[in-house]
Amino acid sequence: MDFMVFQYPMITIQACLDGILLGVLFALIAYGMALQWGVMNIINIAQGDLVILGGYIAYFMYLYGIHPAWGVIVSPIIMYFVGVGIYKLVINKVVDRDLFISILATFGISILFMQLMNFAFGADVVLANSGYGTTFLFDSNVVLPNSKIFSAVVSIVFAICLVIYMKKSKLGRAIRATAQNARAAKILGVDTEKVYAATFGINAALCGVAGALISITFTIHPYMGLPYTIRSFMIVIVAGLGNLPGVAMSGMGLGVFEEFADYILGTEFRIGSVFLLLVLILVYRRFKLSRKREYLK
C-alpha cells in the first residue's frame, strides 16, 4: 500500500491524465462489445484477442519499415475480414442459442487465437515505436507521450465516424432495426444473416483500430487478451447497452481507476484489481436490484 499518489498533486494529475487517455481506448473496445452484444446477443470472450491481433498487424508494418500509425487504417480492414470469417465459421451457429454456449465457444476461439499468435509472433512483449516524442506539462512535472494523445484522438474520431455511420447509412439502419427486433426486420426484407456478419466484422475492425493504437502506446503480448475482454464487458455492464456517453465515461473512469490501483497497490496487482472490480461491480448491482426483487438480465 502506497498512498504517494494522493500526497503529490502532480502525480495525481499524471495518473488522471494517463487514465483518461487509456480509458478512451477501452471505451472504443467496449463500444464494439456493446454493438455485437446488443445486436446479436453474444458475449465475445475473444474480443481481447482480436485487439491483440490488430496490434500485431500494426507491429508487423512497423517491422517492415512502414510507420505504425498507418496500422490504424490497415488493421481494421484486415480485421473486418477476420471478423466476418469467424462469424461464418463459428458465431452464426451460436447466435440464437443460450448465452453460455456463446461464452464457451468464444472462449475456445480465444484460446485458439492466443496460441496461434504465440506460434506466429513469439511470446515476447513487443511495442511498435511511433517516434512521436513527449509533451511536458506543468514545468515538466507531468509527462505525456504524444502517442497516447494521438491514440485518444484517433479513437474519438473513429467512434464519432461510427456513430454517424450507424445513424445515416443503410447498413447502420438495418443493424439498428435488427437489434430492436430481428424477426420484424427479417419480415421487412432485412437480410439479418448479412447484418450479423457485418456487425461482427465492424466489431472486429474496431478491435483492430484499438489494437493498432495499443501497439503504439503500450505493449502487446499474445496472452494479454483476456483483461481487455473483461474491461470491455465491465464498461458495458456499467454503462448499459446502447448508452454511448455512458460507455465513454465509464471507460475513462476505468482507466483512471487502473492508474490509481497501479500506484497504490503496485503493478503486480493491476490486472488482479481489474478482475476484482468486475466482481465487486456485479455484486453491488445484484444487491441494489435485489432490493426491488429483480436481478441482472
Residue ranges binding other proteins (CB under 8 A): 43, 90, 93-94, 97, 99-101, 103-105, 107-116, 119, 226, 230, 233, 237, 266, 268-269, 271-272, 275-276, 278-279, 282-283, 286-287, 290, 295-297
For the CB of residue 151, give the shortest distance to other proteins in the complex, in Å.
Answer: 25
Which residue, 160 or 289, has its beta carbon nearer to other proteins?
A: 289
For the CB of residue 166, give the shortest distance to other proteins in the complex, in Å.
Answer: 25
- The DSSP H or E segment spanning 254 is helix 244-265
For the CB of residue 22, give the shortest distance to other proteins in the complex, in Å.
Answer: 18
Q: How far apart are CA 187 and CA 106, in angstroms?
A: 29
Which residue, 10 or 104, has its beta carbon nearer to other proteins?
A: 104
Which residue, 9 or 240, has its beta carbon nearer to other proteins?
A: 240
- Read off the C-alpha cell for 207: 478491435
Q: How far apart are CA 232 and CA 227, in angstroms?
A: 9
- Read off the C-alpha cell for 134: 513527449
Which residue, 97 or 194, has its beta carbon nearer to other proteins?
A: 97
Which residue, 130 or 273, has its beta carbon nearer to other proteins?
A: 273
For the CB of residue 96, give the shortest distance to other proteins in the complex, in Å.
Answer: 13
- The DSSP H or E segment spanning 142 is strand 142-145
For residue 145, which of 128, 133, 157, 160 has the smallest C-alpha distance? 133
For residue 239, which of 253, 229, 225, 257 has the smallest C-alpha distance? 253
Q: How far apart are the first and last CA of the chain?
A: 37
Single-letter residue type at 33: M
For the CB of residue 50, give the shortest distance to other proteins in the complex, in Å.
Answer: 14
